[in-house]
Amino acid sequence: MCAAGQAELEILTTGNFEWYDAPTDGQLISKNLSLMPNIVSSKTYYVQDASSIAITTGPKATTFTGGVNWGNIGAKFSAKTSFTITEITVKPFAIYNTDPVSITLKLTQNGVLLGTYTSEKTANSGVTNYVLKFSTPIEIPGAGSYILEPTAGLAPLFL
Q: What is the mean pLDDT of each run of 10 residues along the chain (159 residues)?
A: 74 82 85 85 82 56 46 72 83 65 89 94 74 90 87 54
Residue count of the chain = 159
Query: Is pTM, for the whole model, over 0.85?
Result: no
For residue 28, tell me if it sits in a domain: yes
As a whole number of angstroms, the distance between CA 61 and CA 40 comes to 46
Tally the domains of the chain.
2
- The per-residue pLDDT for 80 is 78
For residue 124, tell me if it sits in a domain: yes
The domain containing residue 39 runs over which residues? 8-49
For residue 70, tell me if it sits in a domain: no
Contact 21, 15 (CB under 8 A): no
As a whole number of angstroms, the distance between CA 134 and CA 118 comes to 7
**Same-domain pairing of 79 and 153:** yes
- The per-residue pLDDT for 91 is 67
**Same-domain pairing of 93 and 36:** no
Count helices and strands in the chain by DSSP H and E runs: 0, 14
